Amino acid sequence: MSDPPYARAMNLRLCHGCGLACDLARVAERCPRCGARLHRRKPESIARTWAFTLAGLVFYIPANALPVMSTNILGGHVESTIIGGVVEFAESGAWDIATIIFIASIGVPATKFIALILLLITVQRRGAWRRKQRTRLYRFVEVIGYWSMLDVLVVALVTALVKFQKLGDIEPRAGILFFGLVVVMTMLAAMSFDPRLIWDGEGEHER
Amino acid sequence: MILAISSPWIICEYCDSVYRRPELEPHQKSYCRRCGAVLRRYNAMGVEQVLALSVTAAILLLFTNFFPVMRIGLRGLHNAATLWDSVLDLAQGPIAIIALVAAVAIIVAPLLQIVLLLWVFSFANAARRAPGFEFCMRLLESVRPWSMLEVCLLGALVAVVKLAGYLNVLPGLGLAALAALSVLLIKIAGRDIRWLWELL
């Protein structure tokens, strides 16, 4: 079977609001069905994705270096970081929970940064290298996106629960703020990236 | 009455390939030949079902917000927290801005999704477009990635294990409602809501 045609060759444009294939011979500016503005590619995709990714990387440093919560229970006082939380679970023998937190808090953000930077660089070089796999990588980044919010929500629940004044309490610390910002920034970065840029130029200079 | 606009073509959002719209049988999906993305899924739900499930989701949302997700006990003292409590508690500290992020993720976005679904589908049930239909449908799509109840569910389970070391932890009614609601929202507020554009 031959490859399907591209929308640009058929003078069609995908509406991101509702998914309609808009015929550019009839409409140019806005989708006739949902009214969203039509773009050939997401506007300023590469610049925006770089900006959000780099902002995320900057926040990533305090997110890991600063403590995310402080625990006072029965006289003991602990300031724990993200990695500290994982180590604590692993040492107490709760390997399953340690693995979940490790994947959500360390694995997912790191994978997202590496994947986004890889996608940005390869798209800027307009390479033909493994287009299908790169598109799949982007979809993976999209899917794993919000799972790293796990730690923020755990801290929120735990601090609301443990409030016993003298006997013990748990308070949030600045690290969790930066961690939440990392998640938001990487989500915005993934949303700004246009995977169709991977395929632009296919069949023109190559083959 | 607005006539539904549709096209004989569908375009892959990941690589811009164009296909003739396929006719799908139950449980079938169509994939893009070029990049492997899912193009279309068979839609098994009708307007009535989605409306019924949205009402269910609204009730579950009340339960998740007003019944405690967990209770804990320490030396005879007890405490319980709802989702509201956890957001409000974050808001009191020096890093209140994180409360905003958490509030959107577990309260505002799910609430907005359910309100919009109820609005759009109660009119659709009378075979009409709701006022502001276009806006509501687009908003539903943009809110979806920020609604993180399923992450919150996993977070609650992690919190149970985390605290179980020092304290007595009991899951509350809110946790069960949270579990049911997160599954339900994935089912009804997913991408596949787009079929409504072709119906009305």
Residues B81, A161 contacting (CB under 8 angstroms): yes
Query: Residue A143 corresponds to which tokens in the numbers above?
Result: 């899917």
Break chain A into its structural domains and give their ranges. 1-40, 44-199
Banded model confidence at residue A1, pLDDT cuts 50, 70, 90: low
Q: In this complex, do B102 and A5 lie within 8 Å of one another by their Cβ atoms?
A: no
Mean pLDDT of the A109-117 span: 93
The CA distance from A9 to the nearest CA of chain B, in Å, is 9
CA distances from B115 to A145, B126, B151 (A): 25, 17, 21
**B85 at A interface, C-beta within 8 A:** yes
Answer yes or no: is pLDDT of A125 > 70.
Answer: yes
The CA distance from A180 to the nearest CA of chain B, in Å, is 7
Percentage of residues of chain A with pLDDT beyond 90: 32
Using alpha carbons only, give the angle A34, B107, B91 rounded to the nearest 5 degrees.
125
Reading across the β-sheet that carries A69-73, which strands appear in turn?
A76-80, A69-73, A168-172, A163-164
Residues within 8 A of A (CB atoms), B 59-78 only: 69-70, 72, 74-75, 77
Q: List the single residue in B with minimal CA-CA distance to A199.
A: B15
Give the pLDDT score at A28.
Answer: 76
CA pair distance A130, A111, nearest whole angstrom? 18
Banded model confidence at residue A55, pLDDT cuts 50, 70, 90: very high
Q: Among partner residues A36, A150, A160, which is closest to B138 by beta-carbon distance?
A: A36
The tens digit of pLDDT for each residue in A87-103 reads 888 888 778 888 888 88
Q: In this complex, do A168 and B166 lie within 8 Å of one another by their Cβ atoms?
A: yes
Residues B91, A170 contacting (CB under 8 angstroms): no
Q: In this complex, do B81 and A12 lie within 8 Å of one another by their Cβ atoms?
A: no
The CA distance from A52 to the nearest CA of chain B, in Å, is 16
Give the pLDDT score at B1.
Answer: 44
Please classify residue B72 by burial: count the beta carbons closer than 10 Å to its beta carbon, then call 0-12 exposed, 13-18 middle and 19+ buried: buried
Answer yes or no: is pLDDT of A36 > 50.
Answer: yes
| Strands annotated E in chain B | 9-11, 18-20, 29-31, 38-41, 70-74, 77-81, 168-171
The CA distance from B26 to the nearest CA of chain A, in Å, is 21
ipTM above 0.90, yes or no: no
Residues A47, A195 contacting (CB under 8 angstroms): no
Block mean pLDDT (10 aa), chain B, length 200 = 73 90 87 90 86 94 91 83 86 83 92 95 90 90 91 89 82 92 87 79
CA pair distance B166, B181, nearest whole angstrom? 30
Q: Among partner residues B97, B134, B152, which is closest to A153 by beta-carbon distance?
A: B152
Answer yes or no: is pLDDT of A202 > 70.
Answer: yes
Q: What is the pTM of this model?
A: 0.89
Angle of helix B173-188 relative to helix B47-66, nearest 10 degrees, comes to 150
CA pair distance A49, A142, nearest whole angstrom? 13
Q: In this complex, do B162 and A3 lie within 8 Å of one another by their Cβ atoms?
A: no
**A187 at B interface, C-beta within 8 A:** yes
Pairing mode, strands B70-74 and B77-81 = antiparallel
A44-199 topology per CATH: Butyryl-CoA Dehydrogenase, subunit A; domain 3 (1.20.140)
